[in-house]
A and B are shown apart, each in its own frame.
Chain A
Amino acid sequence: MSRKIERLINLTIALLATKRYLTKKQIFSSVEGYEGTAETKERMFERDKDDLRNLGVVIELGSFDPLFEDEAGYRIAPEGYALDLGAITGIEIALLSLAAEAWKGAALDRSAHSALTKLRSIGVDSDLDALPALAPRLMATHEGFQIITTAISKRERISFSYLSQSYESELRTIEPYAIATKGSHWYVAGRDVAKSALRTFRLDRIDSEVIPSKDGSGYEIPPGFDLLASLDLEQSAHLAIVDIRKGKAQLMRNAALSIADKGEWDRITINYLDSRSFIDLLLWHGDDVLLIAPESVRVELTTRVGEIIDLHV
């Protein structure tokens, strides 16, 4: 096993150090580790190329002199191998370190950690003292997380089973566009293939493995697609007026667009998405809140409260 690793490292060094393309013959005669029959060497080399590609190392195929039909050769262009973020400062390294450390214990912890190792290898010291005391943290523990991010970058469809409102598992296939977090939930948005429309899914409602598939891969993601902006857009659909008792209904105060003092009560204006979940929110606050408008939601609310009474008397 060590020998294979040595060979891969030696091949990388040889292809990276060369200015001209190395032919297979040159590689087999100079890079240590290629042994056996011509066919064996050939097979080894093909596998090694695939392995390096899987590690993100780009091997170029080309010929030194296009005028002559000489044998094609291989090399690794340094600009395709090395990290290049331009000139980088200690403050930038500190910000990137904070970004990587936000993943501690969460889904992309490993990738974040290896990214951090690379950044620390640049040789610029992190200037953490220049930042205010911050410890942001990303909570993402869903097993499918990494599969989804990989699928987005490879433009591959994913399938999973999703818990519907009626708590039934439904099989969904989407072309994922973006993954984002808001509050304590992660969302993935994409084109639902069966419905041929944009849909957003909460990760904790996915109750199966996430399976990537090569079918229909290579779809386009709308440039600049912003998952949270599209969620926010939906959420500002309707306007309501609510009276809330002084010192109460903190959650609604935080979401209020305006607050006016009415003595014992405050009158707020607030956006809501759909009437049912808005009624849920109002009822959580019991008699500390009173919906003033819209009238249609007031009527629906009193009907719902009647149902609660009927269920419990």
Chain B
Amino acid sequence: MSKSAQSPLSRTARLLDLVPYLATHQGIELSRLARDFSVTEPEMIADLTTLWMCGLPGYTPLELMDLSFESGFVTIRNASTLSNPRMLTEEETIALLLGLDLVIESLPSEREDLRLIAIDLVARLSSRVNVPTKLSAKPSIPGSVRAIIQDALHKKLALEILYHSSYSDTVTSRLVTPIEFRDENNCEYLWAFCQRVGGFRSFRLDRIQSAKLNEQTIVEQGTLVEEKAEKISYTLRSHSRPRAIMERFSIDKSDYAGDLPAVAFSYEWIQRSILACSGSVELVQPASARALIVRAARSILERYKSG
């Protein structure tokens, strides 16, 4: 457990929050209680032992809180003074407000009833916090798509997804076996075995246009062997707007000097990305790809001259 969770102040906060939690979860298992408060069992026993010594002035058995936890199940009596949960802190309120806004944006349009309930909650919470601004969170991924994928992972079923590939700018329907969620460069990906290409691919969640469970396919996780995608190394030279280039090509800040080394998985993606920097960046290596960029650029120019 981290040190801060054991500082006197955070322990005090935890004890104050423990009392109302126990009052509404009488007979809870010690192990579950420890988990719910993100501490180890010995730490939880230490907390309960401390709490056991507390109560109203007088401190006779009549005034002390009555805790029992020897059996591995925890009950509390005589704790009415602290039995109401504490007020939310500002940070807790901000976390809930941003979370609620995301929930509101993720609700399907036919659930107007839930939207109104959530908006009312936002109003009730904001009136209690010192933030006059609207806290906004727009989901980049429909909440329902992630829920369906989670369901598939949980049930070990295959998924049918409609996927927009930005490399080739096409929308394709694919049957995939989901393996796990991955986070890269602030984006969420689904790592999955794609039946269509017969290999592992990562799918950006915000490009999955729809997903549905495929009940027929049962996944044999053990038979799937991870394949390494072919990496292409290339070199760039920045001529203007370096920040945009560093971000677009996901180049590490420590590599920012002179010619920029980068890695990608598709020539098509490299070509599109170079064009989309509209002259701010030059592809130095490989030379063969330089020629392809010139050809693509000339064909665009011709369209504008003839159009």
Contact = CB atoms under 8 A, between A and B. Distances in A.
B107 A309 contact: no
Interface string A108-126: 1001111101111111000
B155 interface: no
A311 B227 CA distance: 36
B95 A9 contact: no
Contact of B147 (A81, A134, A154): A134
Nearest to A180: B136
Contacts of B107: 132, 134
Contacts of A209: none
Interface in B143-171: 143-144, 146-148, 150-151, 164, 166, 169-171
B137 interface: yes
A131 interface: yes
Contacts of B108: 132
Contacts of A153: 90-91, 94, 129-131
Given A51-B9, A123-B24, A286-B275, A301 B304 contact: yes
A173 interface: no
Contacts of A178: 133-136
Contacts of B95: 99-100, 103, 108, 111-112, 115
A243 to B, nearest CB: 8
B270 interface: no
Contact of A136 (B16, B23, B55, B146): B146
A310 to B, nearest CB: 8
B9 A121 contact: no
Interface in A148-185: 149-150, 152-155, 163-167, 177-185
A54 B147 CA distance: 38
Contacts of B294: 308-309, 312-313
B120 to A, nearest CB: 8
Main SS of the interface on chain A?
helix
B278 A133 contact: no
A272 to B, nearest CB: 14
Interface string A57-99: 1000000000000000000001011111110000110011011
Interface stretch (B66-74, B195-203, B218-226, B241-249): B241-249
B303 interface: yes
Given A100-B96, A153-B130, A135 B147 contact: yes
B18 to A, nearest CB: 9
Q: Is the interface of B mostly helix, strand, loop or mixed?
A: helix
Contacts of A233: none
B246 A6 contact: no
B278 A308 contact: yes
A12 B55 CA distance: 10
A13 B55 contact: yes
Contact of A91 (B8, B117, B141): B117
B29 interface: no
Nearest to A176: B133
Contact of B56 (A14, A81, A166): A14
Contacts of B170: 247-248
A118 B206 contact: no
Interface string A209-230: 0000000000001111111110
B272 A164 contact: no
B183 A139 contact: yes
B24 A136 contact: no
Given A17-B81, A181-B137, A312 B121 contact: no
A279 B84 contact: no
Given A2-B50, A82-B85, A102-B103, A305 B17 contact: no
Interface of B: 8-9, 11-13, 15-17, 20-21, 23-25, 36-38, 46, 50-51, 53-59, 81-82, 84-100, 102-103, 105-108, 111, 114, 117-118, 121, 124-125, 129-141, 143-144, 146-148, 150-151, 164, 166, 169-171, 183, 186-188, 206, 239, 241-244, 246, 253, 256, 272-279, 282-283, 290-291, 293-294, 296-301, 303-305, 307
5 contacts: A108-B94, A111-B89, A117-B36, A180-B136, A287-B300
What 4 A-B pairs are tightest by C-beta distance, nearest first? A99-B99, A307-B279, A82-B84, A115-B92
